[in-house]
């Protein structure tokens, strides 16, 4: 508890309010469209703190909400059987990236975060729906997993290229949601291990991350209510436009 209080005292009241508000918004986005919590959290918090600090804060909210997501759907075993090469390489790529790259301080990593956000948004907005034949999964899945791990180790963003890859497999909606939760869970746990090995994830950061879980869960609940009242497609397009704007700002400002 003392470590938690000290961590938020160091952040200050203004930045602490930004953290809690960010996770409320990120949870709401995830509740509506089934993804976006790390993307929103890293994008907004990256405006005010180093990527490694932002990534440490999202570990527990991301893990808990993704486990919640992957536990619903009843397709966990067949998805594990089909996607284990991808998941293994997500973990391996994150480990290699944490060792070689890590989330160093300075404008380079902030610009890398911005580039990852912009690339994710533009690919989702502009690229047509792709379809990967099952015979190509044996090599393309591991490649996408390894690249996703490398990118997430430096930026905290798990979306590229694993999200468009999973969307190209022709999975049913519930299967896709569960597969995304599975990939994000593996990525988050691997990122946590990388941050810990680099000294960026201690008791203070874990306590702060645990507190951020409360607004994230509240946001997911609000998002699920909101999903019944608005068009998820329109909401997703607005979300992607916002992510693109955040990414461009981070790239320019560093």
How many percent of the chain have pLDDT more than 70? 91
Full DSSP string of 140-163:
HHHHHHHHHHHHHHHHS---TTHH
Count of CB atoms situated within 10 Å of the CB of 121: 24
Which helix (H) or strand (E) segment holds residue 68: the answer is: helix 51-71
pLDDT tens for 7-32 read 555 556 677 788 889 999 999 988 88
pLDDT tens for 30-56 read 888 877 888 888 888 888 887 888 888
Q: How far apart are CA 62 and CA 14, in angstroms?
A: 23
């Amino acid at each position: 508890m003392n470590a938690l209080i000290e961590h938020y005292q160091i952040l200050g009241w203004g930045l602490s309010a930004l953290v809690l508000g960010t996770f409320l918004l990120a949870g709401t986005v995830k509740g509506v469209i089934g993804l976006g919590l790390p993307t929103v959290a890293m994008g907004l918090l990256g405006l005010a703190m180093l990527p490694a600090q932002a990534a440490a804060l999202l570990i527990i909210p991301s893990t808990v909400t993704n486990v919640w997501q992957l536990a619903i759907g009843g397709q966990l075993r067949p998805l594990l059987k089909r996607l284990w090469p991808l998941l293994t390489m997500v973990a391996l790529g994150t480990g290699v990236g944490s060792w070689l790259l890590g989330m160093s301080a300075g404008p380079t990593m902030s610009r890398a975060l911005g580039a990852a956000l912009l690339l994710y948004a533009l690919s989702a907005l502009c690229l047509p729906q792709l379809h990967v034949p099952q015979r190509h999964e044996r090599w393309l899945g591991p490649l996408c997993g390894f690249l996703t791990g490398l990118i997430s180790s430096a930026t905290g963003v798990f979306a590229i290229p694993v999200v468009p890859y999973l969307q190209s497999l022709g999975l049913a909606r519930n299967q896709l949601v569960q597969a995304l939760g599975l990939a994000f869970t593996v990525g988050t746990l691997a990122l946590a291990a990388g941050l810990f090995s680099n000294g960026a994830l201690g008791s203070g950061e874990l306590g702060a991350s645990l507190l951020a879980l409360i607004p994230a869960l509240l946001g997911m609940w609000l998002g699920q209510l909101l999903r019944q009242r608005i068009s998820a497609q329109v909401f997703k397009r607005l979300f992607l436009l916002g992510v693109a704007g955040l990414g461009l700002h981070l790239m320019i400002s560093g």
